[in-house]
Amino acid sequence: MPKLYHSPHSRSSRVISQLMLMGKLDAVEVIYVDIIKNDGSGRRDPMNAHPEGKVPFLVTDAGETIRESGAIMMYLDELFGQPLSPKPGAPGRGPYLSWMHYYGGVLEPALIAAFAGIEHPALVGTFRTMAEVGTQLESCLKDGPFLLGDDLSVADLIMASAFLWAPHLMPESPEIKAWVARVAQAQDTGAMEVFEAQAQERLSLTEPA
């Protein structure tokens, strides 16, 4: 069984939500770990196998390790028959791969720069800003309710998770707001809240005194 290292209310939460959506949460062993948060609280957990103490982190049945949310989400989707992505050669595969890499290569750096209030020519020149991210999303969402058209995919889960985490950085666009709401609605937020509360509880029981 693959092992997923998870910390509640973090970037690994979207992987839990994806597993719930696929009905595969029971097919993965979840290991609850503490992390150092932005406010300095928490700790680097010796239980966490991630080489930098981050989450999410996945260890496959074969013992290979996978880091980065996008890679982990694609791996799990593929492991369970690709219910949430177009198969190689299928329509939408190109945009799917593009959005998955756009998340880590463009959106996350642009979002963190905006979150930190940093604007530097090297950052803007390389990643652009949240304004350009908004333009890309808006133009894509003209063609359908989700990034790949009619069907929800892992690309929606990872891209919209950024704005669920930082709603104040969501581009001022009714189309984008409606899409984020649709993606949130497709997920079982009630079950997720219960899961995260239990995960937090478990973690506090194992924290060192």
Ligand X SMILES: N[C@@H](CCC(=O)N[C@@H](CS)C(=O)NCC(=O)O)C(=O)O
Which residues in this chain contact ligand X in the complex, by CB under 6 A? 10-11, 35-36, 53-56, 68-69, 104, 108
Q: Which is nearer to ligand X, 33 or 170 (CB)?
A: 33
Which amino acid, residue 172? E
Whether residue 1 contacts residue 61, with contact meaning beta carbons closer than 8 Å, is answered with yes
CB 204, min distance to ligand X, A: 18
148: exposed, middle or buried (Cβ count in 10 Å: 0-12, 13-18, 19+): buried
CA 102, CA 104: separation in Å to the nearest integer?
A: 6
CB 144, min distance to ligand X, A: 26
Whether residue 19 contacts residue 76, with contact meaning beta carbons closer than 8 Å, is answered with yes
Alpha helices in 69-153 (DSSP H): 69-79, 93-102, 108-116, 121-127, 130-141
Q: Which is nearer to ligand X, 68 or 132 (CB)?
A: 68
Which amino acid, residue 32? Y
Cis peptide before 56 (omega within 30 of 0): yes
Cis peptide before 171 (omega within 30 of 0): no
Which amino acid, residue 174? P
Q: Which is nearer to ligand X, 116 or 150 (CB)?
A: 116
CB 123, min distance to ligand X, A: 16
CB 87, min distance to ligand X, A: 24
Q: Which is nearer to ligand X, 43 or 87 (CB)?
A: 43
Q: Which is nearer to ligand X, 39 or 150 (CB)?
A: 39
* DSSP state for residue 4 in the 8-state scheme: E
Q: Which is nearer to ligand X, 11 or 140 (CB)?
A: 11
CB 80, min distance to ligand X, A: 19
Strand partners of residue 92: none
Whether residue 58 contacts residue 2, with contact meaning beta carbons closer than 8 Å, is answered with yes
CB 7, min distance to ligand X, A: 6
Minimal CB distance to ligand X: which residue?
A: 54
